[in-house]
Amino acid sequence: MSIRVLLADDQALLRGTFRLLIDSCADMEVVGEAANGQEAVELARVHRPDIVLMDIRMPGTDGLAATAEICDDPKLAGTRVLVLTMFETEEYVAKALRVGASGFLGKYVTTDTLLAGIRTIASGEALLSPGATRALITRFLTAPAPGPLLATPDRLDELTPRERQVTALAAEGRSNDEIAEQLFLSVLTVRTHIQRALTKLGARDRAQLVVIAYQTGLVRPSPPGA
């Protein structure tokens, strides 16, 4: 089955470019285009895409508000949001992750990186661009923010010691391969632990798992300059 993508960007030229690029791939197809956040939400409910490629700055309802609405809708549990923007700032990265985005890329990325990013998000992994470094994420994810926590600290009690260990390493930005090497496990075993942690903590994907790890105190932010 192909990856179904919804485009949300207020620039028609960019949407057209992205459509040509994505539709040229045998494993992807564009199912709709939105010029603002409200249209993105409405079209997401109609088409139920696998991925919404979401711009942040759009007229009316912006991309962050639209992302929050999509990620809060139980009927769109299978839809993931990849934020693509010119404004790759610390604040935007943290806000995008807090409201449920599964990935964040700057619009300057190459076409190969963009397509790989869509496939990464569709597979259930989280994606952060090189500019969204772990130091920035840890600094802002732990800052006070309105709204409820994704999970309370007591939920960590549901994890086994190994699941907590794997979750903590994932939150530090380690890949499955790196975690497997460090813990002397197979990559398949690491994936199993990640999936079980996702289920127990009620996280929709790896990005939310990272947010939960910091919000619950499983992982602490690195001190400045570390």
Q: pLDDT digits over 138-181, tens only?
A: 555 655 555 566 778 888 999 999 999 999 998 877 878 889 99
Quick check: 34 pLDDT over 70?
yes
Q: How much is the pLDDT for 159?
A: 95
Residue type, 13: L
CA torsion sign for 33, 20, 3, 196 is: negative
Q: How much is the pLDDT for 147?
A: 59
205 in Cβ contact with 80 (< 8 Å):
yes
Residues 89-115 have a mean pLDDT of: 80
Q: Where in the chain is the domain with CATH 3.40.50.2300?
A: 3-132
196 pLDDT band, cuts 50/70/90, is very high
Q: How much is the pLDDT for 225?
A: 47
Helix, strand, or coil (residue 61): coil
80 in Cβ contact with 100 (< 8 Å):
no
64-89 per-position pLDDT tens digit: 999 999 999 999 989 999 988 776 56
Q: How much is the pLDDT for 148?
A: 63
Residue 75, class by beta-carbon neighbours within 10 Å (0-12 exposed, 13-18 middle, 19+ buried)? Answer: exposed
Question: Measured between alpha carbons, how far is 142 from 220 in angstroms, rounded to an integer?
Answer: 8
Q: What is the pTM of this model?
A: 0.70
Percent of the chain clearing pLDDT 70 (strictly above): 84
Q: Which helix (H) or strand (E) holds 131?
A: none
The closest of 68, 67, 42 to 53, measured between CA atoms, is 67
Q: How much is the pLDDT for 115?
A: 93
Q: How much is the pLDDT for 43?
A: 97
Percent of the chain clearing pLDDT 90 (strictly above): 46
Q: Where in the chain is the domain with CATH 1.10.10.10?
A: 153-215
The closest of 122, 111, 47 to 82, measured between CA atoms, is 122
210 pLDDT band, cuts 50/70/90, is confident
Quick check: 184 pLDDT over 90?
yes
Residue type, 79: T
Cα separation values, 51 from 4, 66, 131, 183, Å? 6, 13, 22, 32
Q: Which fold has domain 153-215?
A: Arc Repressor Mutant, subunit A (1.10.10)
Q: How much is the pLDDT for 222?
A: 59
Q: Which of 33-37, 104-108, 209-213 has the lowest average pLDDT?
A: 104-108
Q: How much is the pLDDT for 217?
A: 86
Residues 81-104 have a mean pLDDT of: 77
Question: Measured between alpha carbons, how far is 52 from 83 in angstroms, rounded to an integer?
Answer: 8
Architecture of domain 3-132: 3-Layer(aba) Sandwich (3.40)
In terms of phi and psi (left: phi > 0; alpha: psi -120 to 50; beta: otherwise), the region of 124 is: left
Which tokens go with 150?
A: 């994704």
Q: How much is the pLDDT for 107?
A: 77
